[in-house]
Amino acid sequence: MPDSTPPSRLSEIAANLPVDPFRHAANLTRCELYWLPASLPATEAQRRWTLQFLTELVKGLAPKGELSRELFIELEAIYPDRQDEFIQTAMDFNPVMGFSRRPGAPLPSIPNSEDIAAIRRQEKEFVLKSFLQGICYWFLRKAPDKQLELFWGFGGMTMLLVKPDPSVQPPPIEIPPGVKKHPAFKAALEKFDLQEALGTAFTVQSGFLRKSKEYFGTGWESRLEYKALLYILPKWQSRDFFSLPEDAVNQLFEICELFVAESPADKGVILASKKPLRTLIHDVIVRMREAGFHFPDGA
């Protein structure tokens, strides 16, 4: 029997579904914004819950893998706790350096002579992390589950859920059987996947990277550093979704379907989308609770 409940009634029910432990920014109409209060660095229990939630959320949004998880990590979150893990996995994950940017922020730069002189005279404390801000890495090679497992929870990860770009799909490589068997190529072809390498090369031309640089690099265009960048990651806090022009918010959602970021300034995780998420978030949390998986408040 078809559901005779009026659409407005269904919308009202969805709008009131509980999403605890998330907090919904109900007054924000330009997109949907949710905040998860959590420790950063996260406790292990909070980290485990959040990773499971994100896995289930992505399954709900892209059950057939039709959206790509693009992962970024701030350099200041790598040092010192994740430094060795980052180095040891670099060949597998192929991290590509870029800049993250708070709205209107200047380009990251090396310490100026005045700062260096003040540190030498011990008039100013040397804090390495202050010189790492604004530098981040994008994991070019995709292993999102492992990358999240290694680096989520230290206050510096951002995940963008991105539609695939058909224009960067590599053509198939056909290697003649004789070439595969030839002694000059056989060993190399057994160890080196040419199709995968070509796919990686094409990935750096993805439209979301190009648009991120164009949209979030405003004011940097004349700088040499800008010209060398593949991307610029928006380093937004919850307040930016309210205060920035609506066009800027729309640009973010031209790049991605979902924006998830660890935000030390917000003391937790923020999650934003142009599309309705409340029902899905509610359903995921209910399933997790039924499985005995509860968010450890204050853990």
What is the per-residue pLDDT for 171? Answer: 59
Q: Please list the ranges in the chain whose pLDDT falls under 50.
A: 1, 299
User: Which residues share a beta bridge with 271?
Assistant: 34, 260
What is the per-residue pLDDT for 295? Answer: 95
- In this structure, how many other beta carbons lie within 10 angstroms of the beta carbon of residue 158? 23
Q: Provide Rg for the chain, Cα atoms.
A: 22
Q: Where are the domains of the chain?
A: 16-106+136-164+218-290, 166-205
What is the per-residue pLDDT for 1? Answer: 47
Q: Which residue type, as a one-letter code, is found at position 110?
A: I
List the strands of the sheet with 68-74, edge to edge.
23-24, 32-37, 268-273, 258-263, 157-162, 68-74, 135-139, 95-101, 232-234
What is the per-residue pLDDT for 204? Answer: 80
Q: How far is 269 from 21, CA to CA, in rounded Å?
A: 11
What is the per-residue pLDDT for 80? Answer: 85
What is the per-residue pLDDT for 299? Answer: 45
Structure-token pair, residue 30: 């330009």
Q: How far is 46 from 38, CA to CA, in rounded Å?
A: 7
**Residue 188 phi/psi, 5° resolution?**
-65, -40
pTM: 0.85
Q: How far is 162 from 105, CA to CA, in rounded Å?
A: 25
pLDDT in tens, 33-60: 999 999 999 999 999 999 999 999 999 9
Quick one: which of 266, 206, 205 has its CA closest to 235?
266
- How many Å from the N-terminal Cα to the C-terminal Cα in the chain? 46
